[in-house]
């Protein structure tokens, strides 16, 4: 079997590209490309065969060139000989150069040894320089801390010292760097001194701040008072708009809600700014130094000393512009306390509530002591009212800051007691003066304006509408009544002025007012009027009775007014003034005194009666005393007693006529009268008849005339032609039932029919001259 001839691919182009590659990289790239196509051994063999052919061709070329270029080849050999000789000369020079290099090497070794020594020195210098740099860093940190102290950046300085220790000193000391150890040790020992310097510096700034705060306290309190006054005004405006809101006081939840829109920071406003930065910084520094407890104690001690400096030795309650005035004192305390409360709220654990409340209580007790001492010289109720106003403003301001004001409320109660006593004393004098200077005449009114003023201030219900009045006119009471009514209203108003704004004991005002008003009306008005009942002037007594009547009405009205004005905390039920019953009871005393005066006048008139019981002639006219008596009774009815109530007038008239009848009846019964003849009886009968006719002309004559029944029957008995008829029981009971059983026989025994001599001619003249009559 014949062998098949191996077929070779044409790799001539590939071999050519491989040979002509400009670099190994290109050669490999071409070779890899060809090898990728040589997927079997035959193709690889073809590539090798191609390369072998190329090599054979190149050898053939070289051989051809050698044979054809022989002269050139020889010339090249000659040139190589020349080059060889140059190489020998160069070798000699290289040997000489080698010797020179050996000499240089020895010198270089010496220089290298010197260089090694220099490197050691340089190393030492470098280490020293590095140590110096580290030391300079430490010193720079120290200087930086002290610069921060000078710039009052205390916390930064403290932080710098802390960084100095942590970053430089402690590592240096722990690693025991000999070059820095001593310096680090010295600086480490100076750190406490630097910290003390920072502490002292920050305390100096704090003390400056505290001094400024102390100087600012009064102004701070003034601003706080002003803000409270504005809140008062807004609350009053709300109350005027809505009565329901009047039940809520200042600092109540409702008031605070309504006032939320009027935000005001008393510590930061247009008038005043209180910066707490020095305090915060000082507190922060001491906390960083671990001295918080010491700082708290020092701060508390400083504030206690400042509190003592804040309180003066005395307070002036009269001069509001004085530095020692009450306003200045309370404004200073308020500002101090506000700073304390703000400090407690803005810091943690610096000021405890116990410390703050203790200082507050101490200042309140000191202020109360100063005010109490100064109150001893105050005798003006208006001044006390102003004092109360300032204290109330102080209480409301501090109550809003959460302070307890119980001790101040208790002090206001004592202040009110003094205020009530001064009011009572002043109005007591006023009432006394009004009562003592009154003219006790019906009050004249000239025009409608005067009438309206009097009616508006008095508890008085006119009989006629004001449109029907004619002026001038007179009112039933005297001018003391409206003057007292004005004082009573002022007394009420000034009592309740004390409860304005702030007073936690309105029931005390109600009770004290009732008691004081009762005492004033009873002792200074009623008793004073009763004392003047001793007057003999009937018109004054009648006017006192009328005044008592109106004061009784005023007391009744006052009882209702006090019920309406009393606070919701007072006990319910009616209010009864003792003065009401006292005025009512003394009206009876005045009536009795009128009876006494009228009866006394009647007695005086009847005492002038000069009957001639044994007259020889008949009297043609009533006796002068009887005419004067009836004229007197008529006059007092139409003038003096005119202002009295109808029932009182009738009672007085009834009593006067009864008394007159008794006194007239007593004339013939007198022991001085021994005998009575018919002429004497006729004269008596004429006078009794004249009196009866006078009574007939009066209102209620039938009732009033009953007073004459006994007198008339007695006169009729004396006119009997047969006196023995009296002893007939049936006749006596029918005709003389009103005659006293003892008087009848006595008069009958005096009767005689004997006529005496003529009457004395000067009897009428004596009577007329005695009473000033013509």
Query: pLDDT at position 259, please?
Result: 60
Give pLDDT, residue 580: 93
Residue 485 lies in a domain: no
Q: Are residues 586 and 642 in the same domain?
A: no
Contact 588, 648 (CB under 8 A): no
Residues of the chain under the 70 pLDDT cut:
1-12, 17-18, 20-44, 69-70, 73, 124, 126-200, 239-240, 242-256, 258-262, 320-324, 501-502, 567-572, 753-774
573 and 461 together in one domain = yes
Task: Please tell me whether residues 453 and 357 are part of one structural domain.
Answer: no
Cα distance from N-terminal residue to C-terminal residue, the chain: 215
Whether 585 and 628 map to the same domain: the answer is no
Asked if residue 327 is part of any domain, the answer here is yes
pTM above 0.85, yes or no: no
Same domain, 231 and 328: yes
| Co-location of 213 and 305 in the same domain | yes
571 and 616 within one domain: no
Residue 134 has a pLDDT of: 59
CB 263 within 8 A of CB 428: no
- 652 lies in the same domain as 567: no
User: Does some domain include residue 635?
Assistant: yes
68, 92, 116 - which closes a domain: 68
Q: Using a CB cutoff of 8 Å and minimum separation of 24, what contacts does 116-122 make?
A: none
Alpha-carbon distance of 96 to 174, in angstroms, equals 62
Evaluate whether residue 19 is within a structural domain.
yes
Q: What is the pLDDT of residues 635-680, one digit of tens each?
A: 888 888 887 888 888 888 899 999 999 999 999 988 888 999 999 9
User: What is the per-residue pLDDT for 586?
Assistant: 93
User: C-alpha dihedral over 310, 313, 316, 319, to 10 degrees?
Assistant: -60
Angle between helices 624-635 and 646-669 (to 10 degrees): 170
- How remote is the C-alpha of 323 from its chain's centroid? 22
| pLDDT for residue 322 | 64
Q: What is the pLDDT of residue 199?
A: 67
β-bridge mates for residue 273, sequence order: 268
How far is residue 367's CA from residue 28's CA, in Å, rounded to a whole number?
112
For residues 589 and 530, the answer to whether their CB atoms sit within 8 Å is yes
Based on the fold, state whether residues 743 and 660 are members of the same structural domain.
yes
DSSP, res 403: -
Residue 179 vs residues 190, 396, 694: alpha-carbon distances, Å? 19, 70, 145
List, as own/partner pairs, every contact residues 739-744 make where C-beta atoms lie below 8 angstroms and the sequence separation is at least 24, other chains included: 739/710, 739/713, 739/714, 740/710, 740/714, 743/665, 743/669, 743/714, 744/714, 744/717
Q: Considering Cα of 339, then 341, then 347, then 350, what sign does the dihedral take?
A: positive
* Cβ partners under 8 Å of residue 263, min gap 6: none
Helical pair 154-164 and 277-288, crossing angle rounded to 10 deg: 20
**Residues present in the chain in total:** 774
The number of distinct structural domains making up the chain is: 4
> CB atoms < 10 A from the CB of 309, how many?
10
In a shared domain, residues 364 and 509: no
The per-residue pLDDT for range 42-90, each reduced to its tens digit, is 566 777 777 788 788 877 877 777 777 667 767 777 777 787 777 777 7
Q: How far is CA 250 from CA 228, 395, 765, in A?
A: 9, 11, 85
Establish if 184 belongs to a structural domain.
Answer: no
Q: Report yes or no on 515 lying in a domain.
A: yes
CA-to-CA distance for 346 and 338, rounded, in angstroms?
A: 12
Interior angle at CA 275, CA 271 and CA 279, nearest 5? 150
Of the residues 372, 404, 436, the one at which a domain ends: 404
Residue 76 corresponds to which tokens in the numbers above?
A: 């090249």
Q: What share of the chain is helix, strand, coil (3-state, %, to 5)?
A: 75, 0, 25
C-alpha 298: how far from chain center: 33
CA distance 243 to 464: 37
- The residue range of the domain holding 44 is 12-68
114 located within any domain? no
Q: 735 and 697, same structural domain? A: yes
Q: Are residues 233 and 258 in the same domain?
A: yes
Q: Is residue 111, in this structure, part of any structural domain at all?
A: no
Query: Could you tell me the CATH number of the domain that includes residue 750?
Result: 1.20.58
């Amino acid at each position: 079997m014949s062998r098949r001839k191996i077929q070779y691919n044409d790799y001539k182009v590939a071999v050519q590209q491989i040979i002509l590659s400009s670099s190994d990289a290109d050669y490999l790239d071409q070779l890899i490309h060809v090898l990728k196509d040589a997927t079997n051994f035959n193709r690889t063999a073809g590539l090798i065969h191609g390369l072998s052919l190329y090599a054979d061709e190149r050898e053939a070329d070289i051989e051809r060139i050698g044979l054809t270029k022989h002269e050139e080849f020889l010339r090249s050999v000659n040139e190589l000989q020349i080059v060889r000789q140059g190489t020998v000369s160069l070798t000699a020079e290289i040997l000489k150069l080698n010797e020179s290099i050996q000499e240089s090497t020895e010198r270089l070794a010496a220089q290298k040894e010197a260089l090694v020594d220099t490197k050691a020195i340089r190393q030492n210098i470098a280490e020293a320089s590095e140590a110096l740099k580290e030391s300079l860093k430490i010193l720079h940190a120290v200087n930086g801390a002290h610069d921060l102290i000078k710039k009052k950046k205390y916390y930064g300085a403290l932080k710098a010292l802390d960084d100095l220790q942590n970053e430089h000193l402690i590592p240096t000391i722990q690693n025991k760097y000999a070059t820095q150890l001593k310096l680090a040790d010295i600086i480490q020992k100076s750190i406490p001194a630097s910290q003390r310097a920072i502490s002292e510096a920050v305390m100096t700034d704090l003390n400056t701040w505290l001094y400024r705060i102390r100087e600012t306290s009064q102004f701070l309190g003034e601003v706080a008072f002003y803000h409270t006054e504005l809140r008062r005004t807004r609350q009053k405006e709300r109350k005027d708009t809505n009565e329901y809101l009047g039940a809520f006081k200042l600092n109540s939840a409702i008031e605070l809600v309504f006032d939320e829109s009027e935000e005001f920071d008393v510590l930061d406003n247009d008038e005043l700014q209180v910066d707490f930065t020095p305090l915060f910084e000082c507190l922060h520094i001491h906390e960083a130094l671990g001295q918080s407890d010491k700082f708290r104690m020092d701060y508390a001690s400083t504030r206690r000393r400042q509190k003592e400096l804040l309180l003066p030795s005395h307070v002036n309650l009269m001069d509001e512009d004085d530095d020692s005035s009450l306003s200045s004192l309370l404004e200073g305390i308020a500002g101090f306390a506000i700073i304390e409360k703000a400090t407690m709220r803005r810091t943690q654990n610096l000021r405890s509530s116990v410390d703050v409340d203790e200082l507050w209580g101490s200042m309140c007790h000191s202020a109360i002591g100063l005010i109490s001492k100064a109150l001893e010289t105050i005798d003006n109720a208006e001044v006390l009212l102003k004092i109360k106003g300032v204290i109330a403003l102080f209480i409301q301001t501090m109550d809003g800051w959460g302070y307890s004001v119980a001790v101040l409320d208790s002090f206001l109660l004592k202040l009110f007691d003094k205020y009530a006593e001064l009011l009572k004393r002043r109005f007591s004098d006023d009432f006394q003066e009004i009562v003592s200077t009154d003219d006790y005449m019906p009050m004249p009114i000239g025009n409608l304006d005067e009438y309206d003023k009097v009616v508006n201030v008095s508890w008085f219900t006119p009989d006629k509408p004001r449109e029907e009045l004619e002026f001038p006119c007179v009112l039933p009471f005297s001018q003391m009544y409206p003057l007292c009514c004005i004082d009573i209203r002022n007394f009420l108003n000034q009592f309740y002025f004390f409860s304005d704004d702030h007073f936690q004991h309105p029931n005390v005002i109600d009770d004290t007012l009732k008691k004081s008003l009762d005492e004033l009306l009873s002792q200074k008005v009623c008793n004073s009027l009763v004392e003047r009942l001793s007057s003999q002037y009937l018109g004054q007594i009648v006017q006192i009775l009328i005044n008592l009547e109106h004061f009784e009405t005023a007391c009744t009205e006052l009882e209702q007014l006090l019920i309406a004005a009393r606070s919701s905390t007072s006990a319910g039920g009616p209010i009864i003034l003792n003065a009401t019953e006292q005025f009512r009871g003394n009206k009876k005393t005045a009536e009795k005194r009128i009876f006494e005066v009228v009866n006394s006048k009647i007695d005086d008139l009847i005492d002038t009666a000069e009957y001639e019981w044994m007259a020889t002639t008949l009297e043609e006219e009533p006796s002068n005393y009887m005419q004067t008596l009836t004229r007197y009774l008529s006059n007092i009815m139409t003038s003096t007693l005119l202002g009295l109530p109808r029932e009182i007038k009738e009672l007085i008239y009834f009593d006067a006529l009864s008394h007159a009848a008794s006194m007239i009846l007593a004339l013939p019964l007198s022991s001085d009268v021994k005998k009575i003849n018919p002429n004497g009886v006729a004269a008596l009968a004429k006078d009794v008849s004249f009196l009866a006719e006078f009574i007939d002309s009066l209102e209620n004559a039938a009732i009033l005339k009953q007073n004459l029944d006994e007198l008339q029957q007695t006169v009729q008995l004396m006119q009997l032609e047969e006196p023995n008829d009296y002893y007939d029981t049936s006749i006596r009971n029918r005709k003389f039932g009103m005659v006293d059983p003892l008087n009848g026989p006595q008069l009958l025994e005096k009767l005689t029919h004997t006529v005496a001599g003529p009457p004395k001619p000067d009897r009428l003249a004596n009577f007329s001259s005695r009473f000033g009559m013509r």
